[in-house]
Structure 1
C-alpha cells in the first residue's frame, strides 16, 4: 500500500512509544492483505458508502493498509492525521470544519473508528467517507468502533504468533548448536579408534561408519544453523552484562499506559543492582510477558510486587499479583500451548495462550527455569524466573 505524506509534520518525542508499537506489529510499509480489505469493505457496507480505508499513523503521515473505492486526498489525510492521533474511540469531524480543513467544496461525509493498542495508544483509524453529506446513526458508529477493536485484536494475535514462532526457532537453533558439540566429539573419537594400531578390522570398520554418520549429522546441523543466521543474523542469546533492576524498570515503564488503564501499580522491591549476563532484548520480552499476564489476571486498582533472591550463582525474580489465582489443575497446564485454564482475564482482555510459552522459551535459552505458585482461586499468583548470573 502507500503512505500519504504530510510535509514538515512528524511524530513528537512523546509519541516514540506509539511508533515503536507500530514497528513491533510489523504493519508499516507492508503490502495489502485480504483480511484488512474485508474490514474496510464491512465498514463501507455498514454506512452504505463506496469509500472506506484503514490507515495507520506513521512517522510523517498515514500509511494506508486497505483502501476500498476512491483514495482519500492529501488534504484530508493531513487533517485526519492531526485529529486522529489524540481522538477518542470515534472520529467525526464537525461539518463546518470539514469543508475548510479538508479543502473540499462541500462538507461531504466522514467517520472514523480509532484503532488502539491494549495500552490505549492511537495506532490508526478505520474510516468511511464520501462526497454526499449524511448523518451517521449511533448504531453505525458503534459498529465502526467494534470494527476498530477487531483490527486491533488482529494486530495483537498476529504479533503474538510471530513472537512465538521466532522464540521457538531461536530455542530450536540453540538446542541444535548445543547438539553439535557431542556429535563432533563422537566423530573425532571414532576416527581415533579406527586408527588405533591394535584395532581389528571389524572394530575399524564400525568406527569408520560411526565417524561417517556423525560427520554427516554435523554437516546437517551446520546447514540448519547457517540458514538460521541468514534469516535472523544471530539465533544465540547475546551475552552482555545486564542489571535486572534497571531492565525491570524499563519493562514497567513500557507497560505504563496499559497498567494505568486498569489503575494498577507495580512495586519493584529490589534495592541493589542485580547483574547477570544475558540477552537484553529476550529478557525484556520475557519479563514483559510475565507482567502483562499479572496485569491481565488482576482486578482494577490492584498491585503487583516484584522481589528477588540471590543464592550462589542463581537469581530468582518473583512477580506476585493479587488477582484471580490458579487452581492446581491450572498450575499443571500453565505452560502448555493453547491450554484452557479456569482463570479468566478480569477485563475481558485477549488471551492467546502464547505469552507464557514465549517467556518459558526465553528462560530456557538462558539455561533458566520458570514456574508458578498459587494458594488457589482468588488468592493471587506468583510467577518465578530463575536465571544463572553467568
Structure 2
C-alpha cells in the first residue's frame, strides 16, 4: 500500500480530535493492566512479539501500553508508523516494510532488527475522531489475514468503550459536584435574609409579624430548591431540567425587591424598578428567580453605600430584555473576560464585608442559556458601575422546535 507523508497533510478536524483526546485525559498516565491485556491479546492474535496502544496529540505519540523491548513511553509523532495510521484514518498494514522505498530510512525500520511487519488500526471515538492507534510489529515479514485485522478492529473498539465509560463516570461525578455547588449557593441568600430578619425582630418586636412571614418564605424557598436539586440528582443527567410555566416578571421582581429591602437598607441603597405591566415569559419559575436574585444580590454586594441600583424589564420583539445597573466598582477588561467563569477571582470586592464564592454568575449564565437566552455585562471602567443585560425568548422553545423552525426557513 502507499504511504501518505505526514509533512504534507493537515487534518481539518485536528482541533476537534485534540479536544476529544483531552476529554479522555489519557495522555501521560501510568500503564494499566486493562490496556496491557488488550495489547497482549493483539500480540497473541498475530503471533507477534510487540504490541502497542498509542495515543497521539499535537506533537507526541504516547505509548499507553508498550509490550516490547523498547524502554520508552513517548516519541515525537512525526515519523512514527502509528502517526501514519492516524493520517491514513484506516487499517494500515506493511507486510514487509523493506518493499516500501519511502520506509527504508525510517527510524524504526532501518536498523537490522528494525520493523519488517506492521499492522495498525485507528482508535476512533464515537464521533469519528482518531485519538490513537493499536498496533503490532515484528522483525520478520508477515502476511496479515482478514480475520486477524478484524480482531484488531474489535480490540480498538474495546479501548474506546473503556475510554468512554471513564468519561461518562467522570462527567457524572462532575455533575454531582456542580449540583452540590448550586445547592450551597442557593441556600446562602435565603439564610442571609433569615439572619437579618432575626436581627430586626430582636431590635424591634413590632416588626415581628412581617419578619416571620419573610423567614417562612425563605425557608420554603430553600426547601423547594433543595427538593428540585435532589430530583435532578436522581435523574443523573448533565443538563438541568426546566419546569416551564408562564411567569409574570413584574410580580417576581416585586417579591424579590421585598426580600432585598433589608440588605439594601443596611447600605442605604435605593433600588428603582421600571418594569412593563403584564410582562409574561415562559420559563422555569425557580431558575428565573435565581437569575434575578443573583443579579440583584451582586448589585447590592458590590455597590457602594448611598448609591442607586436601577432595574428595568421590557419586551423587545420576541424577547424579554432585563437590565440591572449599579453605581458600584465596575469591571476592567480582565474582569469581563473571566466574568462568568466558575470560581473566578475579580478585582471588585464586596463593599459590606459580604462573602463571595465565585459561583453566582456561572450558575446564572447556565440558567439563562437553558432558557435559550444570553447574558453579558458592560462597564465603562473601574468605579464607573456595571450593567448586566439578560435577553430571554418570551416563548420557550425546545431544541426540536428550534431545528424545525430552522428547517422551515432553509
TM-score normalized with structure 1 length? 0.49
Rg larger in structure: 2
User: Which structure carries more relative contact order (alpha carbon 8 Å, separation 6+)?
Assistant: 1
